[in-house]
Each structure stands twice: as C-alpha cells, then as structure tokens.
C-alpha cells in the first residue's frame, strides 16, 4: 500500500476528438440508377449556383444519403436541393449578402432563417391543397440532418431545425373518384373507335409501302416513296425542306391531304408535320397507344396503371386458354401472374369479308375486345416498329420525333409530355357541338382502375369481403375504393332496401281504443274474438299482465318491430303505430303525459330529427285524443292530482332524446 504522498496522479480521460470534416468534392455530382425499368440520371453542378459551396455540401449529403439509405428514387431530393439553392441565391442577393458565403458548417449567414423563408416561399408556388411544399421541405431537412450527424461544425440552431418537422403540413387532397358510368362508356367507345382507326391507318400505310421506292431515285413528291423512306429510316426533315416547295399550297394533293384528313392524326404543319404524319402511317405514336391503355385498365381490374405501363413482351404468355400476364408491383415489391381467359368473339370483331374494303367507316378491326385480344392487337400494331428500330421489348413502344425535330426514333411511351397525356387524348374527341368531351376532372388515368373496381362492385353487390376480392385486403379496399360515389350509392340503396323491408313488415293500423264497459268484458269469448285475441289474452289484458308502460299489447312476442318469438324491445316508443296496441280509457293520463313529453322534445330536437323520431307517434296520439275528447279533462285532472307518472326506459331516452 503506497504511503502518504506517494500516490500517483490518475490520468484524466481525454475528450473524444471531433469527427473530421467531410471531404469536399470538386465538380458536378451525378447519380444514375434504374427505376421502373428506366434509366434515371440526376446531376447537380455547384457551378450553376452563386452559393456554390452550399450547393456542393448539399449535393454530397444527397449522394451519401441515397446510397446509405438504399433509396430507389431520388428525384424528390434533387428537386428540393435545386429549389432551395435558387431561392438562396435570390434571397441573399436581395439582402445585399454574398451567396458564396452560405455553407452548412457555420459561417456568418444564419442558414436556419433562410430555410424558414424558403418554406414560406414554397407555398406561393403551389395550390393550397398541394402536398409538394411539405414533401420538398421534408426532403431538404433530411439532407441537412444527415450532414449534421456527420459534421460537428453544423450550428446548433440549424441542427435543431433539421431535426424538426416541416413548418407547414401537407395538403389534404380529396381522394380520386371513379368516372361515372356514362363517362366510362364514352371513354370505352372512343378508345375502341381509335383502335379501329389506327389499324385502318396502318393498313393504308403498308399498302403505300408496297408501291414505294427510294425517293432519291423516284422523287420526294410521291407519298409511297416517303413511306418507303420512313420504313428504311431515311426520312428526315432537312431532306423534305430541300426537295419540297416552301409553301404548303404547292405540295402535291396526297401530301396536303395527309395533313388535313383527321384520320392520319396529323398534329403539326409544315415539313415536320409531314414527317410525323408519314411515319404515323407505319408506326404508332404515343397518343395512338392511349386507347389500348384505357381499354386494358378498364378490363384488368387487378392491375394498376404502373403495372400495365411496365409490361414487356416477356411478361406475356399466350395459350389456347388466353394470356398469362406477369405483373410487377414496385410499391409492394411483388410479382404476380394472372390468367386472362379468351372471351367469345364479338360481332364487331369478325374478320373482313372478301368484298369488304379495309378503311371504311364500319371497319371492324381484327381481334376481340377482351384482354388477350387487346394485347394481340397492341403487339400487332407495333410489329413494324420492332422490325425497323429494334427497340427495348416494351409493350407500349411509340415512335416520336427526336434530335430537334430532325428525325423520328422509337422508345418507351411515357404518356407524360404535353400533347401525349391522357387528358390530351380525351380532348381529341369533341362532342356534337365541337367542344372537348364532357369528362369530369381531373383527367387522371388512375381513375380508370377505380372505375373498373366500382363496376365490379355494382356487378357483385355483395359484402365488403366479396368486393375486396383476392387482390386487396378489406381495409385497403375500404380506404381506397369504398369511398367512391358508386359504392356510396350502392350502400344507400342497401340501407333504403332494408328500411323498406322493415316498413313493409309493419302493417298499417292504429291502436284499438277500448272503453271501460268493453274492458270489463274482455274475458268473454265473443268480445275477445271480435278483437282477434283469445280469451286467455283478454283476461291477461284485464289483469294488466300485458301492460307495456303506456298502452297494452295483444302479443308482445309477435311484434312487427322485432323478430318473431322475441320480446318487443321498442315499447313504448313505437306502441302508438303498432297494430297490436290496445288502449284503455284508464290509460289516457299516461298518453297525455307522453304527448307532453313529445311536445317538449319538439323544442329540444332539430325539426328533422324530431319528425323522424316522434312525428308519427304524435299524429297517432292526436287521433286517439279526438275519439275520446270528452274524457280528456278528467284525465288532466288526475295528472294534476299526481295519481299517474310517466316511466320511460333509459334506452328510450338515450336513443330518441338526443
């Protein structure tokens, strides 16, 4: 044991060193990944912003967070960063501060206040019901918090702000409703007509292709030669400019008709419009594929719009029984096959006779309108597209302009660019007055799936378990599909049907009023027979054994308000409208007290509620009082003397007196 003064000083624990600052990168930050079978490329170049140092730090946090969180998509993070950086440049410049001094790891600029100002600015760029401000603010705060965990130099105030929620809550958008039945039929008929028109157009193009030759030999003013050039990928806008007259009126008639006739779906004018119209004679555009998309979503009730859009040729397996479709649902990380059987051929889909000419107004098409038939027709219209361009094997492959309108190329149809969206396709179908089709807003393709679901609801009309089917849980169906108008209408009809069943079961009638003299003879067989009761029931009425509180009852276990054999549980609330009720004149004081109670509830309840709960009973009481008006004064006198009291069940008060 050491002596006094020989103890050695214990070494103090050293303070943990601060984590080293994150290395700063130089140049643009890029990220590439595959989402929904599509290559996604994102790029943030700090040199594009005045606050380049802040841009680099946020971009580094974005890349690090994307990889460590194993995200499948980063578009929302990139959009939040770009929006915040643009606002920072503008906001700090207006305040006379150099944006280049902004940084996450300290500095003279209070970046927390800039974040608050940016969140308020976001609200002015979106609708009041939009969730985008909340999503973008949350994405930026996540990245700042990710940086703060790894960099001790981030100020405490900014660190606390990043750990908190966005300033404003997300919008409360109303759930999408299904299309009405007449809208569903209009969309279906328009889509079927467009499919026939597309097949007609492609058949004309193939006929012209057989007549054409190389335009460099046969000339550029011949429509078959231009179709031949489109087939061999030699049709480009510069060639048309150099070989065709400058003005449209000097073109050959077949070329002018190609841009005027609505059958060819020419959406542009001039040389570029001619190039797209000629290519449309052989290859479908994105707008041409919208009808197939509409019909498939209306027919495949178990598939989402994303699952239909992501279908490839390898996902289809045709057989004599139909087609087996392999559907991939990314949100649920689930792959599921589904067999769609062949339906019987329809009259409108019969093959053409020998004497019929393809392309007439009643052109019937070449297949069925069931799911296998639609998929076969979709593959058929894209046959030449795959032959010429050899694109990726997507089911929805379209040919559109590219390279600054110089030529056309094949690619996956995205259905999101202006002129190619679902709403643009709807607007191409005017009504009888030339106005766009009367289809309710919003023109969201997801409403087609809900329409197919509610069509199934209307067809089945069963319980919620039956309506949910095999592809949904009951709660999922309740939250996402049962709120639709069709489901509400069907639910209302079910309630009305149940109410009518109850009301029809109640035979119209009124209580029987028995005087004091007749009351003394109830036990006699003749009197009991006139009332439709037995002598034993008459004796029980005399002795008060069938007193229900306000009036008597012939048979409490045979009430029209309750199942047969069970004791009536609605007395005395429904006694005055029950044909089993028997009123003695000695019970008039209680009836007057019940009438007073009903009049009191008239002052307490809203008029609709009072009428629904007490209106019929009040009218029945008035009829009884009219028949024995001379006895009412004596009954009132007995009430004032306190000889009677009104005892209403607790359940009756809680049920009706609210």
Q: Per-residue pLDDT tens for 431-490? A: 656 666 688 888 888 888 877 776 666 655 555 555 555 455 555 555 555 556 666 666
- pLDDT at residue 655 above 80? no
Whether the pLDDT of residue 281 is over 70: the answer is yes
Which pLDDT does position 302 carry in this prediction?
75
User: Quick one: pLDDT at residue 572?
Assistant: 74
Instruction: List pLDDT tens digits, range 137-166.
Output: 999 999 999 999 988 889 999 999 999 888
- Residue 571: exposed, middle, or buried by beta-carbon count in 10 A (0-12, 13-18, 19+)? buried
Q: Is the pLDDT of residue 237 over 90?
A: no
Whether pLDDT at 310 is above 90: no
Taking each helix axis as running N to C, give the angle between helix 253-260 and helix 270-280, from 0 to 180 degrees, rounded to the nearest 10.
80
pLDDT at position 59 is 92
- Our CA dihedral for 53, 59, 61, 67, rounded to 10 degrees, sits at -160
pLDDT at 582: 82
H helix or E strand, kind and range, residue 513? strand 512-514
pLDDT at 436: 62
Kindly report, residue by residue over 11-60, the tens digit of the pLDDT: 554 444 444 444 456 678 888 888 766 788 899 999 999 999 999 999 99
Q: Which residues contact 223 (CB under 8 A, 6 or more apart)?
A: 208, 212, 252, 254, 255, 258, 278
Output the average pLDDT for the chain: 78
Q: Which residues, in sequence order, are CB contacts of 307 under 8 Å at separation 6+?
A: 327, 328, 329
Percent of the chain with pLDDT over 90: 16
pLDDT of residue 16: 45
Whether omega for the bond prior to residue 269 falls within 30 degrees of 0, making it cis, is: no
Higher pLDDT, 9 or 423: 423
Which range of 350-364, 501-515, 531-545 scores highest in mean pLDDT? It is 531-545
CA distances from 561 to 40, 188, 572 (A): 66, 47, 12
pLDDT in tens, 318-348: 888 888 888 877 665 677 787 887 764 443 4
Long-range contacts of 557-562 (CB under 8 A, 24+ apart): 560/505, 560/506, 560/507, 561/502, 561/506
Q: Cα-atom radius of gyration of the chain, to the nearest Å?
A: 40
Residue 208: closest CA among 193, 233, 229, 188: 229
pLDDT single digits (tens) 373-387: 899 999 999 999 998
Residue 80: what pLDDT? 92
How much is the average pLDDT of 383-412?
85
Nearest to 453 by CA among 304, 341, 291, 329: 304
CB 370 within 8 A of CB 215: no
Q: Name the residue among 40, 39, 51, 35 with its Cα closest to residue 83.
A: 51
- Tens of pLDDT, residue by residue over 597-651, are 888 888 888 888 888 778 888 888 888 888 888 888 888 888 888 777 777 666 5
Q: Is the peptide bond before 572 cis (omega within 30 degrees of 0)?
A: yes
pLDDT of 350: 43
206, burial (CB in 10 Å: exposed 0-12, middle 13-18, buried 19+):
middle
Q: According to the model, what pLDDT value does residue 362 have?
A: 35
Torsion sign, CA atoms 262, 264, 268, 270: negative
Task: Please count the other Cβ atoms lying within 10 Å of the Cβ belonging to residue 590.
Answer: 23
Question: Rounded distance, CA 375 to CA 296, Å?
Answer: 8
**What is d(CA 541, CA 522) in angstroms, rounded to the nearest whole number?**
8
**Confidence at residue 198, expressed as pLDDT on a 0 to 100 scale:** 92
Highest mean pLDDT among 102-106, 241-245, 248-252: 102-106
Q: What is the largest CA-CA distance in the chain?
A: 125
- How far is it, in rounded angstroms, from Cα 340 to Cα 342? 7
Residues 418-446: pLDDT tens digits? Answer: 888 888 888 888 765 666 668 888 888 88
Give the three-class secondary structure for 390. coil
If one compares 175 and 299, the residue with the highest pLDDT of the two is 299
Q: Is the pLDDT reported for residue 540 higher than 90?
A: no
Residue 86 is predicted with a pLDDT of 93
Q: Where are the alpha helices (DSSP H) in 251-323?
A: 253-260, 270-280, 286-299, 305-309
Please give the pLDDT value at position 346: 43
């Amino acid at each position: 044991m050491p002596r006094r003064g020989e103890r050695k000083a214990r070494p103090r624990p050293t303070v943990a060193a601060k984590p080293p600052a994150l290395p700063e990168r130089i140049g643009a930050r890029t990220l590439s990944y595959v989402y929904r079978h599509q290559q996604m490329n994102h790029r943030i170049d700090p040199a594009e912003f005045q606050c380049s140092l802040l841009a680099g730090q946020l971009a580094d946090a974005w890349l690090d967070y994307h990889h460590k969180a194993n995200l499948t998509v980063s578009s929302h993070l990139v959009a939040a960063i770009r929006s915040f950086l643009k606002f920072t440049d503008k906001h700090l410049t207006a305040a006379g501060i150099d944006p280049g001094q902004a940084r996450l790891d300290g500095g003279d600029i209070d970046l927390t206040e800039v974040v608050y100002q940016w969140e308020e600015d976001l609200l002015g760029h979106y609708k009041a019901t939009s969730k985008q401000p909340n999503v973008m603010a949350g994405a930026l705060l996540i990245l700042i918090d990710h940086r703060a965990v790894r960099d001790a130099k981030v100020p405490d105030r900014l660190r606390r702000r990043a750990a908190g929620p966005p300033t404003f809550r997300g919008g409360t958008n109303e759930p999408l409703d299904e299309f009405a039945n007449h809208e569903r039929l209009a969309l279906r008929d328009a889509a079927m007509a467009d499919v026939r028109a597309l097949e007609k157009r492609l058949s004309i193009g193939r006929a012209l292709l057989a007549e054409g030759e190389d335009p460099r030999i046969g000339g550029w003013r011949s429509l078959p030669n231009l179709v031949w050039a489109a087939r061999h990928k030699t049709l480009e806008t510069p060639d048309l400019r150099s070989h065709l007259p400058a003005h449209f009126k000097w073109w050959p008639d077949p070329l002018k008709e190609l841009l005027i006739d609505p059958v060819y779906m020419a959406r542009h004018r001039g040389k570029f419009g001619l190039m797209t119209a000629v290519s449309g004679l052989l290859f479908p555009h994105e707008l041409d594929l919208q009808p197939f998309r509409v019909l498939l979503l209306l027919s495949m009730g178990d598939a989402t719009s994303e699952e239909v859009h992501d279908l490839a040729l390898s996902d289809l397996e045709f057989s004599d029984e139909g087609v087996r479709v392999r559907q991939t649902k990314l949100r649920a990380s689930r792959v599921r096959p589904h067999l769609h059987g062949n339906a019987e051929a329809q009259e409108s889909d019969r093959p053409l006779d020998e004497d019929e000419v393809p392309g007439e107004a009643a052109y019937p098409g070449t297949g069925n309108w069931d799911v296998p038939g639609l998929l076969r027709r979709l593959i058929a219209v894209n046959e030449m597209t795959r032959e010429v361009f050899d694109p990726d094997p997507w089911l929805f492959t379209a040919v559109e302009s590219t390279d600054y309108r110089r030529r056309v190329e094949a690619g996956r149809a995205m259905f999101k660019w202006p002129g190619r969206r679902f709403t643009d396709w709807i607007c191409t179908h005017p009504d009888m007055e030339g106005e766009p089709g009367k289809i309710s807003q919003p023109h969201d393709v997801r409403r087609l799936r809900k329409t197919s679901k509610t069509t199934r609801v209307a067809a089945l009309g069963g319980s919620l378990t039956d309506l949910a089917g095999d592809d949904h849980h009951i709660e999922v169906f309740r939250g996402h599909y049962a709120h639709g108008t069709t489901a509400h209408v069907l639910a209302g009809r079910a309630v009305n049907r149940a109410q009518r069943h109850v009301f029809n079961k109640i035979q119209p009638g009124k209580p029987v009023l028995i005087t004091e003299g007749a009351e003394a003879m109830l036990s006699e067989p003749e009197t009991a027979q006139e009332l439709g009761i037995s002598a034993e029931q008459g004796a029980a009425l005399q002795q008060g054994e069938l007193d229900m509180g306000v009036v008597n009852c012939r048979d409490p276990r045979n009430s029209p308000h309750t199942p047969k054999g069970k004791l009536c549980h609605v007395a005395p609330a429904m006694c005055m409208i029950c044909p089993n009720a028997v009123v003695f004149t000695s019970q008039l004081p209680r009836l007057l007290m019940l009438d007073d109670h009903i009049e009191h509830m008239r002052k307490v309840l809203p008029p609709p509620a009072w009428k629904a709960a007490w209106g019929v009973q009040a009218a029945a009481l008035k009829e009884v009082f009219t028949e024995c008006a001379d006895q009412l004064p004596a009954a009132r006198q007995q009430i004032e003397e306190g000889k009677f009291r009104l005892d209403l069940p607790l359940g009756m008060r809680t049920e009706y007196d609210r």
